[in-house]
């Protein structure tokens, strides 16, 4: 059985137990890993994530009242119930229901239908790893609710925006749109070059002889939300200093020409965004040409910039990135991935190098006196979809 079949079986069985009937709609949306283009999405720039095989599955059936009744299979079957006929309000911060309430409220906000439904929800994205379990939940819920209401062709971009709206207004994270777009638009075997201003997605075929390796750092992301919001504010203040509507519009010449009177920290934040946008577009070209050497160089430079200019890495992540870059050499590269302050590291490398790298990782964890952390060998996977029931 594939991981998706296991997830699907588990969720549908839980649905039957909870509601004594079969679901009529099953929606799945994947997590994502970002290959390059970090902290660029909310600056209207470029990012290049790809969808993963793991994700969140939502099984649904209609009710004949206006209640949404949901069971969180992974939280010991915890249930919740609220009406879509009265204003939907958030629960206290950190409550899982906020994801569900936020998407239901977001759909209504965007003029999309939400009707009474029974739901069972379950996922297999590793939690707290920075692989967007939250975006996958938001997109799966949006797809499930709209499909249940007969909107089979719901616009993917709107689904991503609804999931982001939910993060902003109910979950309490002022995220960009990269994670939700990656989950909604994922394509088998292709990374996705996102233009976060035009909101366009260009699939870039990922070489058949290359792999993506994701390694958990073992550092739980802490203070990530407040630091994230602080970085966003610094980027906004740099954009206003340079009199551009977003840092996307800043080029290296202007960055230097108007550097005077700008706080050094804010200047370095802007420099990261400007250089990262260039690296991301270059990396897309490299991937399209199957050039892992150039991709690896861009990934290493991205890490350097995130560590020194944007200051969102932590020593444990740097050590892991260094270990991977040492063993991969010029045949690929590694960097931190996601918002930062812990979470995962991503590497691109030739498939035939995986075994050597995994041996080196074994020695790395042993030297640290830590149990080996989760590592996933991945290829870009398909995006959100309805499964047949």
- Contact residues toward ligand GLA (CB under 6 A) are 38-39, 41-42, 175-176, 178-179, 338-339
Residue 364 pairs in a beta bridge with none
Nearer to ligand GLA, 23 or 380 (CB): 380
The least CB distance from residue 191 to ligand GLA, in Å, is 15
DSSP code at position 381:
B
Q: Please, are residues 277 and 36 in contact by the beta-carbon 8 Å criterion?
A: no
Hey, what are 117's tokens? 């439904």
The least CB distance from residue 273 to ligand GLA, in Å, is 10
The least CB distance from residue 130 to ligand GLA, in Å, is 7
Hey, what are 201's tokens? 């997605």
Q: Phi, psi at residue 98, to the nearest 5°? A: -65, -30
Q: Please, are residues 31 and 54 in contact by the beta-carbon 8 Å criterion?
A: yes
CA–CA dist 206, 194 (Å, integer):
15
Q: Phi, psi at residue 363, to the nearest 5°? A: -65, -35
The least CB distance from residue 114 to ligand GLA, in Å, is 24
Residue spans of beta strands (DSSP E) within the chain: 25-36, 46-62, 67-72, 78-83, 117-123, 190-195, 200-205, 210-216, 333-336, 344-350, 375-378, 385-387
Nearer to ligand GLA, 245 or 289 (CB): 245
Catalytic sites, residue numbers: 179
CA–CA dist 252, 142 (Å, integer):
39
Task: Determine the Cα angle at 334 with ends 175 and 317, to 5°.
Answer: 65
Q: Phi, psi at residue 36, to the nearest 5°? A: -170, 160
Q: Phi, psi at residue 307, to the nearest 5°? A: -75, -45
CA separation, residue 28 to residues 126, 354, 356, 383 (Å): 16, 29, 34, 8
DSSP code at position 167:
I
The least CB distance from residue 197 to ligand GLA, in Å, is 14
Nearer to ligand GLA, 88 or 196 (CB): 196
Q: Please, are residues 154 and 103 in contact by the beta-carbon 8 Å criterion?
A: no
Nearer to ligand GLA, 19 or 96 (CB): 96
């Amino acid at each position: 059985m594939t991981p998706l079949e296991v997830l699907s079986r588990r969720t549908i069985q839980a649905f039957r137990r909870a509601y004594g009937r079969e679901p009529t709609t099953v929606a799945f949306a994947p997590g994502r890993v970002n290959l390059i283009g970090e902290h660029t999405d909310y600056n209207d720039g470029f990012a290049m994530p790809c969808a993963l095989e793991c994700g969140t599955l939502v099984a649904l059936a209609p009710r004949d009242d206006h209640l949404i009744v949901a069971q969180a299979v992974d939280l010991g079957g915890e249930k919740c119930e609220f009406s879509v006929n009265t204003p939907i309000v958030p629960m206290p911060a950190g409550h899982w229901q906020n994801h569900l309430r936020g998407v239901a409220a977001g759909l209504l906000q965007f003029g999309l239908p939400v009707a009474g439904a029974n739901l069972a929800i379950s996922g297999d994205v590793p939690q707290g790893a920075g692989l967007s379990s939250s975006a996958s939940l938001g997109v799966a819920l949006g797809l499930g609710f709209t499909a249940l209401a007969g909107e089979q062709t719901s616009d993917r971009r709107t689904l991503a925006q609804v999931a982001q709206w939910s993060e902003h207004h109910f979950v309490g994270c002022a995220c960009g749109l990269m994670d939700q777009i990656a989950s909604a638009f994922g394509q088998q075997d292709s990374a996705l070059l996102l233009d976060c201003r035009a909101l366009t997605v260009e699939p870039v075929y990922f070489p058949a002889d290359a792999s993506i390796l994701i390694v958990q750092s073992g550092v739980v992301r802490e203070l990530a939300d407040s630091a994230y919001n602080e970085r966003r504010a610094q980027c906004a203040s740099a954009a206003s200093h340079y009199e551009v509507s977003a840092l996307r519009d800043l080029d290296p010449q202007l960055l230097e020409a108007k550097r005077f009177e700008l706080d050094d920290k804010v200047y370095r934040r802007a420099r990261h965004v400007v250089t990262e946008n260039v690296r991301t577009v270059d990396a897309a070209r490299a991937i399209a040409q199957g050039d892992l050497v150039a991709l690896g160089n861009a990934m290493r430079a991205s890490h350097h910039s995130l560590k020194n200019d944007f200051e969102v890495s932590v020593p444990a992540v740097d050590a892991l990135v260094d270990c991977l870059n040492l063993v991969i050499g010029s045949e690929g590269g590694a960097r931190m991935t996601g918002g930062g302050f812990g979470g995962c590291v991503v590497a691109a490398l030739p498939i035939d190098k995986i075994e050597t790298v995994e041996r080196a990782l074994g020695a790395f964890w042993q030297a640290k006196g830590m149990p080996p952390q989760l590592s996933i060998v991945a290829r870009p996977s398909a995006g959100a979809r309805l499964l047949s029931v």
